């Protein structure tokens, strides 16, 4: 073999060898490397992903029932948009904990839309209201909800009395913490109005349509932004307004109750109650499928049932009698990333050791003169342990350069 042939052979051998090695290397990196992260983890870790300017992220923060269970809080959906806006739709009992797991500063969780005044749709409003203040919210909490057929059945009445219920709680915080976040801003609207724009800010439009559920008052919501359409039923019987105004939604979330057979065997309802509640007050899986087949969303999401290994197959089979489109049966922490091109569905991985995020603006010191204080009888029982406390005041003042005086 002469020199040039030998070098050509060598080069060819090296090319083949490097090709073989690169194939092996690529295969090893993507599939079985013991040291490299997987390219796609297929899980949502809160607080670790940017939203694209035209992307919507929808997170199930409550998908269950009025009766509490660890796996599923009651109704709550968080919608995050690529423009930075965030909206909470319903805040059922137990859901404030789920919202906290999203690692979002409370100042951004300041807009709540209540579909109706069942406790499984607004029972954690107090937790978000007061807990949000302790968690560094300094913005007022803004609430939108329907009027009732009488004043006392409306949202403003409910919120006014929630404040009254928490008179002691609110009073106890005066002069002790920055309480600006305790301010409430309530917007009541007509539940009978059809396609009624109740919010129009920053390119985001939120409209309501009437819902039919238990009593007059409930509504469903439609959020439109940058050509994307999110529809959320809250609770409703299938109805003509939903059929007309949510058609073609990118993501349509509608209640899907357990079928009467499971309401009897699992929930403990009598046959009469199961049939009434399961098909007349609420929407059964087959009715859910029927209404979805009429509006044809890009993805249909069913919620409002205990979604377990033994209920999901029954619910799915009933839905598939009437609907063959893309379907998700929600559980808490299901995450939907929606763009015009794609819909990605994942589960969030939750850190249970959650702490609040910082406020978005500087906090102000508590106004000491606003303190309500104690009676003489109560104060007479204090054991100040002044030496121990003085050490703590000295330590903190030194570390942070402050001059907080030791109380007498
Ligand atoms: Zn309800
Ligand atoms: Zn409900």
First to last CA, the chain: 100
CA distance 68 to 79: 23
Q: Are residues 401 and 323 in the same domain?
A: no
Reported confidence tier of residue 18, pLDDT bands at 50, 70, 90: very low
User: Tens of pLDDT along 348-369?
Assistant: 999 999 999 999 999 998 888 9
* 28: in domain: no
**Ligand 1 center to residue 116 CA distance, Å?**
7
Q: Are residues 289 and 381 in the same domain?
A: no
CA distance 149 to 154: 8
* 364: in domain: no
Domain that holds residue 385: 376-408
**Ligand 2 center to residue 121 CA distance, Å?**
6
**Ligand 2 center to residue 75 CA distance, Å?**
7
Q: Are residues 132 and 243 in the same domain?
A: yes
* 159: in domain: yes
Share above pLDDT 70 across residues of the chain, in percent, rounded to a whole number: 92
The count of C-alpha atoms lying within 13 angstroms of the C-alpha of 277, restricted to the half-sphere facing its C-beta, is 18
Reported confidence tier of residue 84, pLDDT bands at 50, 70, 90: very high
The pair of structure tokens assigned to 17 is 């060898």
Q: Are residues 338 and 386 in the same domain?
A: no
Residue 23 has pLDDT above 50, yes or no: no
Q: Are residues 382 and 244 in the same domain?
A: no
CB 83 within 8 A of CB 118: no
Closest-approaching ligand to the CA atom of 218 = 1
Q: Are residues 227 and 146 in the same domain?
A: yes
CA distance 369 to 194: 49
The alpha carbon dihedral of 377, 378, 381, 386 has a sign of negative
**Ligand 1 center to residue 170 CA distance, Å?**
28
Note the pLDDT of residue 34. 83
Q: Are residues 79 and 188 in the same domain?
A: yes
Residue 280 has pLDDT above 90, yes or no: yes
> Alpha helices, DSSP H only, in 296-382?
312-319, 376-379
Closest-approaching ligand to the CA atom of 212 = 1
Cα angle: 108, vertex 111, 117; to 5 degrees: 145
Note the pLDDT of residue 293. 98
Closest-approaching ligand to the CA atom of 75 = 2
CB 89 within 8 A of CB 79: yes
**Ligand 1 center to residue 19 CA distance, Å?**
63
Residue 394 has pLDDT above 70, yes or no: yes
**Ligand 2 center to residue 281 CA distance, Å?**
10
Q: Which residues of 256-274 are buried (b: 16+ CB within 10 A; e: fewer)?
A: bbbbbebbbeebebeeeeb
Q: Which of 347, 367, 387 is the last residue of a domain?
A: 347
Q: Are residues 141 and 196 in the same domain?
A: yes
CB 113 within 8 A of CB 87: yes
CB 206 within 8 A of CB 197: yes
Residue 371 has pLDDT above 50, yes or no: yes
Closest-approaching ligand to the CA atom of 116 = 1
Q: Which of 347, 367, 398 is the last residue of a domain?
A: 347
Q: Are residues 190 and 334 in the same domain?
A: yes
**Ligand 1 center to residue 37 CA distance, Å?**
44
**Ligand 2 center to residue 98 CA distance, Å?**
17
Closest-approaching ligand to the CA atom of 72 = 2
**Ligand 1 center to residue 358 CA distance, Å?**
34
More confident residue, 9 or 301: 301
> β-strand 299-303 against 327-329: which pairing, if any?
parallel
**Ligand 1 center to residue 121 CA distance, Å?**
7
Q: What is the CATH number of the domain that holds 194?
A: 3.60.15.10
CA distance 56 to 367: 40
Note the pLDDT of residue 29. 52
Task: Look at 14-18, 47-51, 172-176, 298-302 and tell me which has the smallest mean pLDDT.
Answer: 14-18
Note the pLDDT of residue 38. 78
The alpha carbon dihedral of 271, 94, 120, 238 has a sign of negative
* 367: in domain: no
Residue 88 has pLDDT above 90, yes or no: yes
**Ligand 2 center to residue 33 CA distance, Å?**
47
**Ligand 2 center to residue 371 CA distance, Å?**
39
* 39: in domain: no
**Ligand 2 center to residue 103 CA distance, Å?**
26
Reported confidence tier of residue 24, pLDDT bands at 50, 70, 90: very low
Please compute the mean of the pLDDT values over residues 60-74 and round it to a whole number: 97
* 30: in domain: no
* 363: in domain: no
**Ligand 1 center to residue 184 CA distance, Å?**
24
Count of domains forming the chain: 2
Q: Are residues 387 and 253 in the same domain?
A: no
* 24: in domain: no
Q: Are residues 180 and 302 in the same domain?
A: yes
pTM: 0.91
**Ligand 2 center to residue 188 CA distance, Å?**
20
Nearest residue to 304 via CA among 45, 95, 42: 95
**Ligand 1 center to residue 235 CA distance, Å?**
5
Q: Which residues of 350-388 are buried (b: 16+ CB within 10 A; e: fewer)?
A: beeeeebbebeeeeeeeeeeeeeeeeeeeeeeeeeeeee
Residue 98 has pLDDT above 80, yes or no: yes
Residue 395 has pLDDT above 70, yes or no: yes
**Ligand 2 center to residue 102 CA distance, Å?**
23
**Ligand 1 center to residue 117 CA distance, Å?**
7
Nearest residue to 224 via CA among 53, 51, 56: 56
Q: Are residues 329 and 406 in the same domain?
A: no
Reported confidence tier of residue 146, pLDDT bands at 50, 70, 90: very high
């Amino acid at each position: 073999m002469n020199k040039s042939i030998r070098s050509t052979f060598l080069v060819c051998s090296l090319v083949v060898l490097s090709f073989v090695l690169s194939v092996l290397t690529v295969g090893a990196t993507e599939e079985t490397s013991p040291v490299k992260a997987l390219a796609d983890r297929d899980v949502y870790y809160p607080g670790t992903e940017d939203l694209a300017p035209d992307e919507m992220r929808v997170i199930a923060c409550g998908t269950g029932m009025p009766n509490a269970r660890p796996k599923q809080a009651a109704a709550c959906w968080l919608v995050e948009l690529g423009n930075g806006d965030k909206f909470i739709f319903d805040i059922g009992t137990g859901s404030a904990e789920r919202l906290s797991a999203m690692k979002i500063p409370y100042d951004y969780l300041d807009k709540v839309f209540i579909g109706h005044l069942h406790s499984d749709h607004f029972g954690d409003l107090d937790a978000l209201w007061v807990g949000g203040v302790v968690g560094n919210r300094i913005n007022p909490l803004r609430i939108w909800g329907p009027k009732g057929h009488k004043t006392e059945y409306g949202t403003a009445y409910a919120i006014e009395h929630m404040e009254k219920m928490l008179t002691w709680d609110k009073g106890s915080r005066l002069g002790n913490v920055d309480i600006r976040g305790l301010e409430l801003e309530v917007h009541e609207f007509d539940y009978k109005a059809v396609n009624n724009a109740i919010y129009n800010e920053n390119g985001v439009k939120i409209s309501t349509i009437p819902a039919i559920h238990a009593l007059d008052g409930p509504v469903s919501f439609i959020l439109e932004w940058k050509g994307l359409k999110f529809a959320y039923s809250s609770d409703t019987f299938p109805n003509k307004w939903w059929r007309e105004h949510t058609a073609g939604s990118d993501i349509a979330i509608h209640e899907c109750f357990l079928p009467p057979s499971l309401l009897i065997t699992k929930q403990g309802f009598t046959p009469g109650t199961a049939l009434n509640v399961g098909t007349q007050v609420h929407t059964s899986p087959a009715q859910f499928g029927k209404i979805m087949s009429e509006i044809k969303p890009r993805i249909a999401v069913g919620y409002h049932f205990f979604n377990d290994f033994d209920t999901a197959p029954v619910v799915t089979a009933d839905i598939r009698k009437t609907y063959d489109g893309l379907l998700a049966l929600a559980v808490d922490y299901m995450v939907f990333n929606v763009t015009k091109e794609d819909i990605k569905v994942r589960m969030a991985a939750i850190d249970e050791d959650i702490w609040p995020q910082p406020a978005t603006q500087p906090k102000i010191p508590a106004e000491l003169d606003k303190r309500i204080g104690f009676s003489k009888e109560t104060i007479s029982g204090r054991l100040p342990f002044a030496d121990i406390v003085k050490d703590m005041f000295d330590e903190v003042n030194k570390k942070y350069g402050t001059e907080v005086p030791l109380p007498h």
